[in-house]
């Protein structure tokens, strides 16, 4: 359990909000998918060809950076999702 919390906290620090880190000198070595918002104000992920990879289902998303996981928010709780849309760490905190 403490290992999961430590993993979550370290990824929370690494995964900043999409608008908070616009430093283009850091190359994204994670999955090449990016957050998008639909008309119902839900967030998901799409690739650079605008193909939906993970359907819009989250209240908030964070970019995949240099890891294969991204932080997502649902009902004021956070979890981790992989590039296939599988919830790796269930919503907590």
6-58 confidence digits (pLDDT tens): 444 444 544 444 444 444 445 667 789 999 999 999 999 999 999 999 999 99
CB atoms within 10 A of CB 52: 13
Residue 30 is predicted with a pLDDT of 75
Residues 6+ apart with CB under 8 A from 20: none
Residue 66 is predicted with a pLDDT of 75
CA distance 69 to 51: 19
- CATH class of the domain whose range is 2-14+31-92: mainly beta
Q: What ranges do the domains of the chain cover?
A: 2-14+31-92
Residue 17 is predicted with a pLDDT of 46
Residue 92 is predicted with a pLDDT of 87
Residue 93 is predicted with a pLDDT of 74
Residue 3 is predicted with a pLDDT of 45
């Amino acid at each position: 359990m403490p290992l999961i919390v430590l993993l979550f906290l370290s990824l929370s620090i690494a995964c900043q909000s999409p608008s908070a880190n616009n430093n283009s000198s850091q190359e994204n070595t994670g999955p090449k998918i990016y957050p998008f918002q639909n008309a119902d104000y839900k967030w998901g992920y799409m690739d650079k060809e605008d193909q939906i990879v993970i359907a819009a289902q989250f209240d908030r998303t964070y970019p995949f950076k240099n890891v294969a996981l991204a932080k997502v928010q649902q009902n004021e709780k956070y979890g981790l999702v992989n590039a296939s849309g599988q919830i790796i760490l269930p919503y907590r905190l």
